[in-house]
């Protein structure tokens, strides 16, 4: 694969002089503002950052995996941290949970009876919820890099 690229690369390279670049090429340069918009959209709704860039497979997988982790975590009565935490670990947990964007608030709405971490299942649920948030932040960062034109 890389050998094929090396063979074809010289033919596909654009002219090095920027003055000769076409207007179309200049217009399609990645925009920092657009990239931030994509990242924020991906954080608010998991998968949306990729969907806006027509990366349908990645958008679907991010949406489903983050959603599944949130649903399972809430079903196992994991702890959803809030902003009024008493120590640094609560604050870190809140930041991780909030990474799931709108799904965090959805989980707070649907979680029945509150958290129960007196059993291992509830503790696992807490990890599932935190992982959903961190995974969504990773996906939003990935969408941001893709929007900036980085290889993704």
Partner 1 sequence: MIPSLALTHIQAFLLFAAVISLAFGFLGRRRPKDRVKYILWSFFLFLLIGIGIGWAMYPFSR
9: Cα within 13 Å, side-chain hemisphere: 7
Residue 71 engages partner 1 in binding (rule: CB under 8 A): yes
CB of 101 to partner 1, least distance (A): 15
Name the one range near partner 1 by CB under 8 A: 8-16, 28-36, 88-96, 130-138: 130-138
Residue 77 engages partner 1 in binding (rule: CB under 8 A): yes
| Residue 65, CA distances (Å) to 20, 118, 129 in order | 45, 26, 11
Q: Out of 40, 44, 45, 72, which residue is the one contacting partner 1 (CB under 8 A)?
A: 72
Q: Out of 43, 98, 111, 133, which residue is the one contacting partner 1 (CB under 8 A)?
A: 111
CB of 18 to partner 1, least distance (A): 29
Give dist(CA 52, CA 34) in Å, integer: 10
- Is the CB of 38 or the CB of 135 nearer to partner 1? 135
Residue 16 engages partner 1 in binding (rule: CB under 8 A): no
Query: Which residue do the tokens 């982790």 mark?
Result: 69
Give dist(CA 91, CA 83) in Å, integer: 7
Both structure tokens of 6: 């090396």
């Amino acid at each position: 694969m890389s050998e094929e690229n090396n063979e074809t690369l010289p033919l596909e390279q654009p002219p090095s002089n920027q003055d000769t670049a076409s207007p179309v090429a200049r217009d399609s340069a990645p925009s920092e503002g657009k990239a931030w918009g994509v990242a924020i959209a991906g954080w608010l709704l998991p998968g949306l950052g990729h969907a806006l860039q027509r990366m349908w497979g990645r958008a679907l997988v991010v949406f489903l995996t983050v959603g599944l982790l949130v649903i399972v975590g809430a079903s196992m009565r994991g702890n959803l941290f809030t902003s009024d935490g008493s120590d640094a670990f609560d604050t870190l947990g809140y930041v991780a949970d909030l990474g799931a964007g709108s799904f965090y608030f959805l989980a707070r709405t649907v979680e029945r009876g509150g958290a129960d971490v007196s059993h291992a299942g509830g503790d696992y649920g807490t990890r599932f919820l935190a992982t959903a948030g961190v995974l969504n932040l990773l996906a939003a960062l990935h969408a941001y890099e893709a929007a900036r034109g980085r290889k993704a």
